[in-house]
Each structure stands twice: as structure tokens, then as C-alpha cells.
Structure 1
Amino acid sequence: MRAYYFDDLPGDQRLPHDSGKSVDAATLSAIGVLHWHIPVDDESGKHIEGIDAVARERDCKNRDVIVVTKESLGDEYETKIKNFYKEHMHEDEEIRYILEGGGYFDVREHASEAWIRCHMRAGDLLVLPAGIYHRFTLDEGNKSRTMRLFKDEPKWIAHNRGPETDVNPYRIDYVKSVAVA
């Protein structure tokens, strides 16, 4: 995974938007974002051991695989891509492992309000804490096959940023956790 500050220039969201300013693992950790690279090995399935270890550590009991392509989503493709790219948060950790293709997770750096763009490709696993503002888009490859890990039943409920989410208890807890760091 490669992380850097988003350039905030207009243009297709699937372009790199690379400001040239890299972001290190310590900066990501300070905002609660964790990542690992576990090479995908479809033949032996050895990568599953690494995913299982993260799942145990994060107390995840369920997982599924989502394919985001024009072919897989059909008429809903444009709507879904736009929905994923709206700034939002979740009340659960968001854990994603890229099996094939790639995309960008943009996360808000709380102190500066800057976007940090995390370019993920096959083998990258990312953990976003509950309450962090973020968004997702495909990269120029226009394809992502992603395993999603869940603590309980698979669900994806986005709370778009606004006055209501700023006072959401999960958001408040997140802000407190990064203020201490």
C-alpha cells in the first residue's frame, strides 16, 4: 500500500491525485489506520492464514467478498461508485483485503482535515477505526475484488458526514482516541 496526501485538484476520482507528499505508517497509526501486506496466493490459499490471524486479533467472525466492476454491478455501478466516494463513517471497524484489482481509500487526518489517499492493490489489508471519516473509489483499473471482515453479521451502513455524524457516539469516541495520541 502506498499512502500520500491527496492533491485536492479537480478531476476523475479514480486518478492518483498524488500531491507528492508521502505519508508514513506512523502518521496512519496516529489516526488509527492499520495496514498489512499479505500476498495473495490463490493456488495454495496460504494468504488465508494471514487473514485469519487478523480476523482473530480484531474479533471478526464473518467475512464476504464483494466485486466492484461495471459488469458485476450493472446499472447500479455509477450510483454505487458515487455512494462509496461520499465522505462517511461507520460505527464498526472497516476491514478490507484486496484480492484482485485495486482502489483508493481516502481517510481524513483529523487534526488537519487533509485527505490521505491509501492506494491499495492485491494483497493489501486495511483496518479503518469506527468513527473515522473516509471514502473509497476504484483506481484506473476499474476493478476490485475485496474480502470484507466483520465482527458480527456482514453489514455496511454508511453515515454520511454532517452535523448528525459529528455528534455520533462512535465519532466522538474516535476523536477522543486520536486527540490523546
Structure 2
Amino acid sequence: MVRAWRLVGDQLTDNPTSPDQSVSLDELAKLGVEYFQVDADTREENDFYKNLKKERGYSYSDLITVSPDTLPNYEQKVKSFFEEHLHTDEEIRFILDGSGFFDVRDLDDNWIRIEVVKNDLVILPAGIYHRFALDNKDYIRVTRLFVGEPVWTPHNRPSDDMQARRNYLEKLNIPNAVH
């Protein structure tokens, strides 16, 4: 099951600072973050996974392994993943092996850290500010899903004037906010 917690200040630890800092799936859902647990080893035979892909129109997927041994320009790529950004499309990541963290901004502009491990499928909505970091294992293997042709463009913060950001805030009933 997913673990998520609020980061205090610039804290970048792997564990919550205290039990009262934990964040529930309901709290993540209020931000538009969706989480599912699917057996990674049998995913292609899994009805839930097949239906999710069909219902949401995920027509393209690829596989990425992030580790010093497998990813060209590893240091540069990992650094760019950790820069706060948003996308104009939702970001769908299905963890096949390894582990890491997605950090997302809450409505008060604080970070929530979401630990992802094998069998976690996380969907971040278009327009949410986020970043990704590996944990101390320096390894994750992920299927990335897309609707149509993949869009890889991160828009670093600030990108508050982008339509995807405005649409995201509007869905959260924050029509004129700048976060």
C-alpha cells in the first residue's frame, strides 16, 4: 500500500517525520492524484489494467529503467526529474521494479512525498506541480503510459499562466488562484 507524507521545510528523507504528517489516499485524491495497486508481473493479463488503459485511451507505452548503469546521462536526467514542473497531459507511471518518490504540491503549496514501489500505478493530473526522485537504491523500472503520441515536455515552475495549470486549479475549485 502506498505511503505518503508531508515534507517539512526542505526535508528530503525517506520516512515521515511523525505519524501526524502522513497523508491518506483520500487527501491525494482531492489533489487529483490517483493510485492503484496492480500486480506488475501479470499486468498484461490483468483485467483492471487492461480496462484502465482502454477507458482512459492509453494507446502508447514504453519502459524506462532509471539507474546509473542503464540511463544515458544519468546524473543530468535525475537532476531534471527533480526540478519542479508540470505537464500538459496527465503523467501515468506503473512501477515494475525498484522504488522512488513523487513529490506533489498540496493546496497550501507544501510538498507531499509519495513513495512508489513495485506494483504501484500512479496518475498525476495535468497541471499539478511535481518532481521525481530516486531513493537510496538508485533504481526504478517503470512503464510510462500515454494517450496518443508521448509528450515529454516538462514546464518548470512558474508555469501558472499555462492552460493546463488553470484547468487543474479550476477542477479543484480554485478558479483564480496562483499556486
Under a length normalisation based on structure 1, what TM-score does the superposition of the two structures give?
0.88
Please tell me whether residue 168 in structure 1 is matched to residue 165 in structure 2: no
Q: Which runs of 4+ in 1 moved over 6 A?
A: none
- After superposition, residues 22-171 of structure 1 pair within 5 angstroms as 22-41=22-41, 44-45=42-43, 48-74=46-72, 76-109=73-106, 111-162=107-158, 165-171=159-165
Q: What do the CA deviations read for 1:21-65 (whole angstroms, capped 9, x no partner)?
A: 110111111110000011222xx5556543322212221111111
C-alpha distance in 2 between matches for 1:104 and 1:124: 11
Kept in 1, the 8 Å contact 2:43–2:49? The answer is no
Q: CA deviation at 1:108?
A: 0.5
C-alpha distance in 2 between matches for 1:72 and 1:50: 30
Structure 1: runs of 5+ lacking an equivalent: none
C-alpha distance 175-45 of structure 1, shift in aligned 2 (>3 A)? closer
3-state DSSP class of the match of 2:9? coil
Amino acid at match of 1:86: E
Kept in 2, the 8 Å contact 1:8–1:17? The answer is no
Match of 2:5 in 1: 4
Kept in 1, the 8 Å contact 2:31–2:172? The answer is yes
Q: CA deviation at 1:116?
A: 0.6
Q: CA deviation at 1:179?
A: 2.1
Amino acid at match of 2:29: S
Cα RMSD (Å): 1.7
C-alpha distance 47-158 of structure 1, shift in aligned 2 (>3 A)? farther
Structure 2: runs of 5+ lacking an equivalent: 175-179
Identity over aligned pairs, percent? 37
Q: What do the CA deviations read for 1:54-97 (whole angstroms, capped 9, x no partner)?
A: 212221111111110000124x1111011000000000000000
C-alpha distance in 1 between matches for 2:86 and 2:54: 23
C-alpha distance in 2 between matches for 1:47 and 1:108: 34
Amino acid at match of 1:137: A
Under a length normalisation based on structure 2, what TM-score does the superposition of the two structures give?
0.89
C-alpha distance in 2 between matches for 1:154 and 1:48: 23
